[in-house]
């Protein structure tokens, strides 16, 4: 507490000292100096020989920051007035002359601070000259102009009075102020002098003092010239501080002895004014010979010390640097080598001096060094970095590699190239590691190629038998089987589909890791992609009682630049993942935009993920925990593939979750609006595959696998087609050309791309080269490698389309409808799919998505189920219209109902009803269309 109280007390004392004590002390000192200056050197006039007080005052202002400067100047003025009164001046004259001195002090301080700053350095020649010009000439002249008005207004000696005042004040200013400032600076940075310095100071001071005294003690000879060597010797040997003491000593001795009638100046037989003028000139010459010379010498010493420090630093650097430093002149001759050259370049530095770089150059390094040197000397470049083999190998005969940085040396004064500076270092270890890295990379690339080939072969070998398994299961499911056998066939189908999904995931992640996935940006309708993904998962969702919804803002761009295949793959993975881990509730796909990005978020009400496992679910083969893996199955590859695909698309995939509540997966991608319209895939309405009945045509099937030949042949024959087969590419080419020669050409070829002897690519190229055009004979690729690059390879070989194995019946029918003639109005007894009731029902169930009922009763037809769902939706709309329930939770429930109705109505020939349901759904989700909801509900009921 006492310490806290002492702080304000100390501050108060400091303010009192600044405001009163310091100005008071200044006034007393100024008054005493003024009094003695006048009394000591005044003759028959009013003006002193050397006016000291002003110089002392300016020196104080230049070295001490005065808090109350105006108060301090006023105190000096009072001290000056007191001195003037003490020597007999009248009150008016004392006040007026004191004012002239104050003006001189203020003007000198202002000018010096303006050009030199608040603290001029008197050991710098520039600052010393500015001080002399400002405080030693300009300020005394201004003061003299005012003083003559006060001192001698009535007499005719105005010029003489003005000259006396100006020279006296100028002499005091240039003698006293710089000297005091130098002494103060030395006192601020004291150092203990060396014994040699003490001896030199003592000798010069004693000798100088005796010499000066003897010169001014006698009045017989004009020996003033003997004083100059004293001042100059002090300047050369003792620096600015010693010179300052010397000038003060000479000024004091000369002034006292001259005023007492001694010294050479008294030999002048003129008036006392003339003697005063000679004394002032002598003192000015002592100053000019002393301090400026000392300042110049001090600057030179500082430059020498600075140069010595630089040389010391440079020597320290070059002696200890690990890099070898070599300098070549403009002619390529070595002029300097650092000591480290021996350790880096393996030879004594003397072996390089005076020689060219080409004289010590390994044959393997000659090209790199010569080219770099030529580019530098020709001005083509200013710096080069290169690695080369050293001239000498190491002690074991192993090659040593050097990395060199070479740069043009530009002269500081000429600004022209003066040579080349080279910094070299041993990088043998790095070069060895780089060679090892290259070999390892080559081995890794070879391993990656082998891995890719292995995966491609395994894919084909696995897909080929699975093609038969899944194809025959499809045929079995279309047959009229007993319920137990039907259930067994469905289990086989599910197991086969799971295996193919696993195979696709493994191939996908392998392709991504190998960097072989191609990203093809094109205009994409994100909303359309989301809706298609929801349709594909709607059957699985409804079987679990899960509601699928989507939310797409109305202002979202119609088309964005993205890869539609990869975007669809990510969304399908996320939806499949959410459906798998959600027992009931809702899964919503939300699309939004923010700045230059758009997001697709899949949010579910599933089991959720614990925080400690959330970071691991994106790792390959990772799931939430072991219990999750055992209960729900799966490989844990879907999310890993999706995140890697998101990265390839330039975006991110992140997840947030609350255990027991649900999860949210957010895909963020760059939003690049496309000026083109997004392409929509042509789809065939598989709800009734009789919509475009395929005309009977001749088809050649080229397939080496016997089971696949039987399966595909059976599928084609059930479509009413005439099928011939070939077991390899060579037989396929022969069959095609023979048929053409017999005027019975094939209408379509299904060509397996991987067959023995001649593969499908070569067979297709051969057919095209033999003059069979795509218009004449379309060729469809059959391949188990269903990647984008495989499709591109098939098209490049001359094929027109691509079917992936295992072959799906619906996709085969769609392909036939696209490339073969069709009969749009064929009677019911015409060529059609087998088992019309069961087959049509199965196709309709796959296409109707959310319209499919979840009841296990397989005897209920799709048409009956549609009628039931239709009536339920209409009843819900009628009830909402009657009760006016178009807000809150009721609005959300009705929107979901309308969404299902809109997605299925068109499949049963009620397109207008679907459009009305879609319009009501949009109104229910948009706050801007609240007023339109009742009208749109009435329109829907009228359309029904």
* Residues 601, 625 share a domain: yes
Q: Phi-psi bin for 406: left (phi > 0), alpha (psi -120 to 50), beta?
A: beta
| Token pair for 485 | 């056998």
Query: What distance, in Å, lies between the first and last C-alpha atoms of the chain?
Result: 92
* Residues 178, 32 share a domain: yes
Read off the DSSP letter of residue 240: H
| Token pair for 437 | 């890295």
Contact of 668 with 651, CB cutoff 8 Å: yes
- Residue found by looking up tokens 């002696």 in the block: 319
Rounded Cα distance between 254 and 275, Å, is 12
DSSP 342-384: HHHHSS-GGGTTTSBGGGS--TTTHHHHHHHHHHHHHTS-SEE
Q: How confident is the model at residue 765 (pLDDT cuts 50, 70, 90)?
A: very high
Q: How confident is the model at residue 865 (pLDDT cuts 50, 70, 90)?
A: low
Domain boundary pick from 407, 426, 445: 426
Q: Tell whether the model's pLDDT for residue 731 goes beyond 90.
A: yes
Contact of 917 with 901, CB cutoff 8 Å: yes
* Residues 156, 69 share a domain: yes
Instruction: Report helix, strand or coil for 419.
Output: strand
Predicted confidence (pLDDT) per residue in 237-290, tens digit = 877 777 777 887 888 888 788 878 888 888 877 666 677 677 777 877 777 777
Out of 593-607, 629-643, 655-669, 695-709, least confident range: 629-643
CB-based burial of residue 624 (10 Å sphere; 0-12 exposed, 13-18 middle, 19+ buried)? buried
Rounded Cα distance between 896 and 893, Å, is 5
CATH number for the domain including 72?
1.10.1760
Q: Tell whether the model's pLDDT for residue 685 goes beyond 50.
A: no
Phi then psi for residue 654, to 5 deg, are -130, 170
* Omega of the bond leading into 482 within 30 degrees of 0 (cis): no
The overall longest dimension of the chain from CA atoms, in Å, is: 157
The whole-number pLDDT of residue 8 equals: 59
Indicate if the alpha-carbon torsion angle 151, 152, 153, 158 is positive or negative: negative
Domain-located, residue 675: no
Q: Tell whether the model's pLDDT for residue 787 goes beyond 70.
A: no
Rounded Cα distance between 720 and 640, Å, is 44
The whole-number pLDDT of residue 266 equals: 81
* Residues 83, 29 share a domain: yes
Q: Phi-psi bin for 515: left (phi > 0), alpha (psi -120 to 50), beta?
A: left
Residue 265, C-beta contacts closer than 8 angstroms, at least 6 positions apart = 224, 254, 258, 275, 278, 279, 282
* Residues 198, 242 share a domain: yes
Contact of 901 with 915, CB cutoff 8 Å: no
Q: Tell whether the model's pLDDT for residue 571 goes beyond 80.
A: yes
Predicted confidence (pLDDT) per residue in 581-597, tens digit = 888 889 999 999 888 89
Of the candidates 230, 251, 123, 233, the residue with the CA atom closest to the CA atom of residue 182: 123
Compute CA distances 495 → 275, 475, 490, 498, whole Å.
Answer: 128, 16, 9, 5
The whole-number pLDDT of residue 317 equals: 76
* Residues 225, 307 share a domain: yes
What is the pTM assigned to this prediction? 0.39
Domain-located, residue 234: yes
Rounded Cα distance between 43 and 46, Å, is 8
Domain-located, residue 556: yes
Contact of 262 with 219, CB cutoff 8 Å: yes
Q: Of 260-274, 323-337, 772-786, 929-943, which one has max mean pLDDT?
A: 323-337
Rounded Cα distance between 214 and 254, Å, is 11
Out of 46-60, 294-308, 389-403, 904-918, least confident range: 904-918
CATH number for the domain including 421?
3.30.450.20
* Residues 372, 285 share a domain: no
Contact of 895 with 919, CB cutoff 8 Å: no
The half-sphere exposure of 815 on its side-chain side, counting CA atoms within 13 A, is: 22
The half-sphere exposure of 559 on its side-chain side, counting CA atoms within 13 A, is: 12
CATH number for the domain including 618?
3.30.565.10
Q: How confident is the model at residue 11 (pLDDT cuts 50, 70, 90)?
A: low
The whole-number pLDDT of residue 456 equals: 62
CB atoms near residue 345 (< 10 Å): 22
Mean pLDDT for 607-617 is: 77
* Residues 342, 310 share a domain: no
Q: Tell whether the model's pLDDT for residue 848 goes beyond 60.
A: no
Domain-located, residue 769: no
* Residue ranges making up the domain that contains 352: 321-426
Q: Tell whether the model's pLDDT for residue 762 goes beyond 80.
A: yes
Mean pLDDT for 792-804 is: 88
Q: If residue 230 lies in a helix (H) or strand (E), which one and from where to where?
A: helix 227-259
Compute CA distances 566 → 529, 558, 658, 888, whole Å.
Answer: 11, 18, 28, 36
Read off the DSSP letter of residue 19: I
Of the candidates 831, 811, 836, the residue with the CA atom closest to the CA atom of residue 693: 831
Residue 310, C-beta contacts closer than 8 angstroms, at least 6 positions apart = none
Out of 85-94, 456-465, 660-669, least confident range: 456-465
Read off the DSSP letter of residue 932: G
Predicted confidence (pLDDT) per residue in 16-60, tens digit = 666 688 889 989 999 999 888 887 655 545 556 678 899 999 999
Domain-located, residue 617: yes
Of the candidates 549, 498, 557, 484, the residue with the CA atom closest to the CA atom of residue 524: 557
* Residues 23, 165 share a domain: yes
DSSP 727-785: SSHHHHHHHHHHHHHTT---SEEEEES--SSS-HHHHHHHHHHTT--TTTS-EEEEES-
Mean pLDDT for 3-8 is: 53
Rounded Cα distance between 413 and 402, Å, is 33
Contact of 78 with 196, CB cutoff 8 Å: no
Domain-located, residue 686: no
Alpha helices in 272-365 (DSSP H): 272-320, 341-345
Rounded Cα distance between 212 and 214, Å, is 5
Predicted confidence (pLDDT) per residue in 214-234, tens digit = 888 888 888 888 888 888 888
Domain boundary pick from 670, 704, 722: 670
Q: If residue 804 lies in a helix (H) or strand (E), which one and from where to where?
A: strand 801-804
Contact of 399 with 390, CB cutoff 8 Å: yes
Q: How confident is the model at residue 140 (pLDDT cuts 50, 70, 90)?
A: very high
Domain boundary pick from 621, 655, 670: 670
More confident residue, 287 or 351: 351
| Token pair for 400 | 């040593």
CB atoms near residue 118 (< 10 Å): 11
Percent of the chain with pLDDT over 90: 15
Q: What is the total count of domains within the chain?
A: 5
More confident residue, 265 or 112: 112
CB atoms near residue 350 (< 10 Å): 10
Mean pLDDT for 301-318 is: 81
* Residues 264, 160 share a domain: no
Rounded Cα distance between 471 and 476, Å, is 9
926 alpha-carbon distance from chain centroid? 41
Instruction: Report helix, strand or coil for 547.
Output: strand
Q: How confident is the model at residue 909 (pLDDT cuts 50, 70, 90)?
A: low
Q: Tell whether the model's pLDDT for residue 201 goes beyond 90.
A: no
* Residues 658, 540 share a domain: yes
Phi then psi for residue 724, to 5 deg, are -120, 155
Indicate if the alpha-carbon torsion angle 524, 527, 533, 535 is positive or negative: negative
Domain-located, residue 857: no
* Residues 340, 229 share a domain: no
More confident residue, 585 or 565: 585
Predicted confidence (pLDDT) per residue in 151-192, tens digit = 765 455 678 788 888 888 888 888 888 888 888 888 888 777
More confident residue, 392 or 686: 392
Domain-located, residue 393: yes
Instruction: Report helix, strand or coil for 605.
Output: coil
Of the candidates 118, 117, 80, the residue with the CA atom closest to the CA atom of residue 99: 80
The angle formed by the CA atoms of residues 596, 614 and 608, to the nearest 5 degrees, is 100
Mean pLDDT for 831-836 is: 38
Q: How confident is the model at residue 632 (pLDDT cuts 50, 70, 90)?
A: very low
Contact of 517 with 559, CB cutoff 8 Å: no
Contact of 904 with 849, CB cutoff 8 Å: yes
Mean pLDDT for 503-522 is: 71
Mean pLDDT for 835-842 is: 36
The whole-number pLDDT of residue 733 equals: 94
Rounded Cα distance between 480 and 842, Å, is 13
Q: State the Rg of the chain over Cα.
A: 53
Instruction: Report helix, strand or coil for 663.
Output: strand
Contact of 218 with 160, CB cutoff 8 Å: no
The whole-number pLDDT of residue 767 equals: 94
Rounded Cα distance between 463 and 803, Å, is 13
| Token pair for 197 | 């310095």
Mean pLDDT for 812-832 is: 63
Mean pLDDT for 489-502 is: 74
Q: Tell whether the model's pLDDT for residue 81 goes beyond 80.
A: yes
């Amino acid at each position: 507490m006492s310490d806290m109280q002492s702080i304000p007390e100390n501050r108060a004392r400091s303010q009192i000292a600044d405001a009163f004590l310091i100005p008071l002390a200044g006034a007393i000192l100024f008054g005493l100096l003024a009094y003695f200056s006048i009394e000591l050197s005044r003759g028959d006039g009013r003006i002193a020989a050397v006016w000291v007080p002003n110089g002392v005052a300016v020196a104080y202002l230049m070295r001490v920051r005065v808090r109350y400067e105006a108060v301090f100047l006023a105190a000096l003025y009072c001290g000056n007035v007191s001195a003037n009164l003490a020597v007999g001046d009248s009150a008016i004259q004392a006040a007026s002359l004191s004012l002239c001195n104050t003006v001189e002090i203020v003007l000198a301080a202002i000018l010096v601070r303006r050009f030199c700053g608040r603290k001029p350095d008197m050991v710098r020649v520039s600052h010393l000259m500015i001080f002399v010009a400002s405080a030693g000439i300009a300020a005394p002249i201004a003061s003299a102009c005012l003083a003559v008005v006060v001192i001698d207004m009535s007499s005719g000696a105005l010029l003489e009075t003005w000259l006396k005042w100006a020279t006296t004040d100028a002499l005091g200013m240039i003698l006293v102020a710089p000297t005091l400032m130098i002494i103060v600076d030395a006192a601020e940075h004291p150092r203990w002098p060396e014994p040699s310095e003490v001896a030199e100071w003592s000798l010069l001071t004693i000798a100088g003092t005796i010499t000066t005294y003897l010169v001014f003690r006698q009045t017989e000879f004009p020996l003033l010239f003997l004083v100059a060597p004293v001042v100059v010797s002090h300047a050369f040997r003792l620096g600015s501080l010693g010179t300052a003491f010397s000038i003060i000593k000479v000024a004091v001795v000369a002034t006292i002895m001259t005023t007492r009638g001694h010294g050479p100046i008294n030999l002048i037989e003129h008036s006392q004014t003339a003697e005063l003028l000679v004394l002032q000139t002598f003192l000015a010459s002592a100053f000019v010979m002393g301090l400026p010379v000392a300042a110049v010498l001090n600057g030179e010493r500082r430059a020498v010390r600075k140069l010595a420090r630089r040389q010391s630093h440079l020597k320290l650097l070059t002696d200890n640097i690990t890099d070898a430093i070599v300098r070549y002149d403009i002619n390529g001759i070595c002029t300097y080598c650092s000591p480290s050259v021996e350790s880096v370049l393996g030879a004594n530095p003397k072996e390089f001096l005076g020689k060219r770089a080409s004289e010590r150059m390994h044959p393997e390094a000659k090209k790199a060094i010569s080219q770099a040197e030529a580019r530098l000397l020709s001005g083509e470049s200013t710096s080069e970095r290169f690695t080369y083999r050293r001239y000498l190998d190491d002690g074991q005969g192993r090659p040593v590699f050097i990395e060199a940085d070479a740069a043009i040396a530009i002269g500081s004064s000429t600004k022209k190239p003066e040579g080349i500076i080279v910094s070299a270092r041993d990088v043998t270890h790095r070069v060895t590691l780089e060679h090892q890295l290259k070999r390892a990379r080559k081995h890794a690339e070879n391993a990656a190629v082998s891995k890719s080939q292995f995966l491609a072969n395994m894919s084909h070998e696995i897909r080929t038998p699975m093609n038969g398994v899944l194809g025959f299961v499809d045929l079995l499911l279309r047959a009229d089987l007993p319920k137990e056998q039907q259930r067994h066939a469905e289990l086989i189908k599910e197991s086969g589909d799971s295996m193919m999904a696993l195979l696709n995931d493994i191939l996908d992640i392998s392709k991504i890791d190998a960097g072989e996935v191609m990203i093809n940006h094109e205009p994409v309708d994100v909303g359309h992609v989301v809706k298609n993904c929801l349709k594909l998962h709607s059957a699985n969702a409804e079987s679990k009682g899960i509601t699928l919804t989507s939310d797409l803002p109305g202002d979202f761009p119609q088309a964005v630049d993205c890869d539609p295949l990869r975007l669809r793959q990510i969304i399908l993975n996320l939806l499949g993942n959410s459906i798998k881990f959600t027992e009931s509730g809702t899964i919503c796909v939300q699309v939004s935009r923010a700045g230059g990005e758009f997001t697709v978020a899949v949010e579910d009400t599933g089991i959720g993920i614990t925080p400690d496992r959330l970071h691991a679910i994106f790792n390959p083969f990772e799931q939430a925990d072991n219990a999750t893996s055992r209960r729900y199955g799966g490989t844990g590859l879907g999310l890993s593939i999706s995140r890697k695909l998101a990265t390839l698309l330039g975006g991110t995939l992140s997840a947030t979750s609350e255990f027991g509540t649900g999860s949210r997966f957010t895909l963020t991608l760059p939003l690049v609006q496309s000026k083109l319209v997004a392409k929509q895939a042509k789809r065939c309405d598989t709800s009734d595959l009789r919509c475009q009945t395929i005309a009977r045509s001749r088809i050649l099937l080229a397939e080496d696998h016997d089971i696949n030949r039987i399966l595909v042949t059976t599928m084609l024959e059930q479509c009413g087609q005439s099928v011939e087969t070939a077991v390899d590419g060579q037989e396929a080419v022969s069959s095609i050309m023979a048929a053409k020669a017999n005027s019975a050409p094939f209408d379509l070829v299904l060509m397996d791309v991987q067959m023995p002897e001649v593969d499908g690519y070569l067979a297709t190229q051969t057919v095209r080269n033999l003059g069979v055009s795509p218009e004449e004979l379309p060729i469809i690729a059959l391949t188990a490698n269903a990647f984008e690059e495989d499709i591109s390879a098939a098209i490049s070989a001359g094929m027109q389309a691509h079917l992936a194995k295992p072959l799906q019946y619906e996709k085969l029918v769609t392909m036939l409808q696209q490339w073969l003639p069709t009969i749009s109005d064929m009677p019911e007894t015409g060529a059609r799919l087998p088992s019309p009731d069961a087959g049509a029902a199965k196709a309709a169930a796959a296409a109707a998505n959310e319209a499919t009922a979840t009841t296990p009763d397989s005897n209920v037809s799709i048409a009956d189920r549609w009628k039931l769902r239709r009536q339920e939706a209409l009843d819900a709309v009628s009830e909402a219209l009657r009760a006016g329930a178009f807000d809150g939770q009721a609005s959300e429930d009705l929107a979901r109902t309308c969404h299902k109705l809109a997605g299925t109505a068109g499949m049963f020939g009620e397109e207008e009803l679907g459009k009305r349901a879609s319009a009501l759904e949009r109104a229910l989700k948009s706050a801007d269309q609240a007023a339109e909801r009742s009208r749109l509900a009435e329109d829907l009921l009228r359309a029904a």
